[in-house]
Amino acid sequence: MTLRNADLGVAPTVPKAPNGKASNGKAPNGKASNGKALASNNASSAPVALLEKLMAGSSAEIAFLLRSGKLLAVAPRGSDSDLVARCRLVDLPRPPLGPMLVDVADGADPWAQWCAERGLRSCAVAPVISAQDRIGAIVLASRQEGVLDSGDLSHLEMAAWLASRGWESDERVDALRRQFADVYPLLRRALPLDRAMKAPPGFRSLARAIGTSLDATYCRIASSTSDGRLIVQASAGHRPPERQIRQGTPLDDLPGCREALRTGRPIVLTFDQTAMDSSAEQRAVFTPQTKTGIVLPFSAGTGLHGLLLVGEERLTRAPQPYQHRREALQLVADRLGEILRISDLLARQREEEMRRQTRMVEQTERRRLARELHDVVGQALSAVLMQVRAGMEQQQVDRVDLRDLEAATQGAVDAARALAYDLRGLEDGVDPFLGCAVDLVDDADVRHPEVRLARMVANLVPGPVRVEPLRHFPIARDLVIDMTDFLDKLTRVKPWIVRKDKTPPPREYIQTPEQLGAFKQYSNCINCMLCYSACPVYGIDPHFIGPAALALAERYNLDSRDQGADQRLDILSQHDGIWDCTVIGECSEVCPKEVDPSLAIQEFKLTATKEWFKSFLMPWGGK
The CATH fold of domain 35-174: Beta-Lactamase (3.30.450)
How many CB atoms sit inside 10 A of residue 341's CB?
17
Question: Taking residues 476-482, what's their average pLDDT?
Answer: 87
pLDDT level of residue 614 (50, 70, 90 thresholds): confident
Q: Quick one: pLDDT at residue 462? A: 64
Q: Quick one: pLDDT at residue 265? A: 87
Contact 47, 72 (CB under 8 A): yes
Q: How far apart are CA 532 and CA 551, in angstroms?
A: 12
Contact 345, 322 (CB under 8 A): no
Q: Quick one: pLDDT at residue 307? A: 92
Contact 556, 485 (CB under 8 A): no
Tell which CATH classification among 3.30.930.10, 3.20.20.70, 3.40.50.1820, 1.10.1060.10 matches the domain 475-617. Answer: 1.10.1060.10
One-letter amino acid identity for 461?
V
Does 55 or 82 have the greater pLDDT score? 55
Q: How far apart are the first and last CA of the chain?
A: 86
Nearest 5°: phi and psi at 222?
-125, 150
β partners of residue 322: none
Domain 193-348 has CATH 3.90.1150.10: no
pLDDT in tens, 535-568: 988 888 888 999 999 999 988 989 988 888 888 8
Using a 10 angstrom Cβ sphere, with 0-12 exposed, 13-18 middle and 19 or more buried, the burial of residue 30 is exposed
Contact 437, 456 (CB under 8 A): yes
* Bond into 28 cis (ω within 30): no
Maximum CA extent, the chain: 152
User: In the predicted model, is pLDDT for residue 430 greater than 50?
Assistant: no
pLDDT in tens, 184-219: 666 666 566 565 556 667 888 888 888 877 778 898
Nearest 5°: phi and psi at 541?
-120, 100
Of 55, 73, 75, nearest in space to 156 by CA:
55
Q: Quick one: pLDDT at residue 153? A: 87
Question: Taking residues 479-501, what's their average pLDDT?
Answer: 88
β partners of residue 273: none
User: In the predicted model, is pLDDT for residue 530 greater than 60?
Assistant: yes
Sign of CA dihedral 368, 372, 375, 379: negative
Q: How far apart are CA 184 and CA 245, in angstroms?
A: 31
Q: Quick one: pLDDT at residue 547? A: 92
Eight-state DSSP code of residue 295: E
User: In the predicted model, is pLDDT for residue 441 greater than 80?
Assistant: no
Q: How far apart are CA 237 and CA 239, in angstroms?
A: 5
Q: How far apart are CA 469 and CA 482, in angstroms?
A: 10
* Residue 150: strand, helix, or coil: helix
Across the chain, mean pLDDT equals 75
**% helix, strand, coil for the chain, step of 5:** 50, 15, 35
Give every CB contact of residue 385 below 8 A, 6+ residues apart in sequence.
406, 409, 410, 413
pLDDT in tens, 364-400: 777 777 667 666 666 666 666 666 666 666 666 565 6
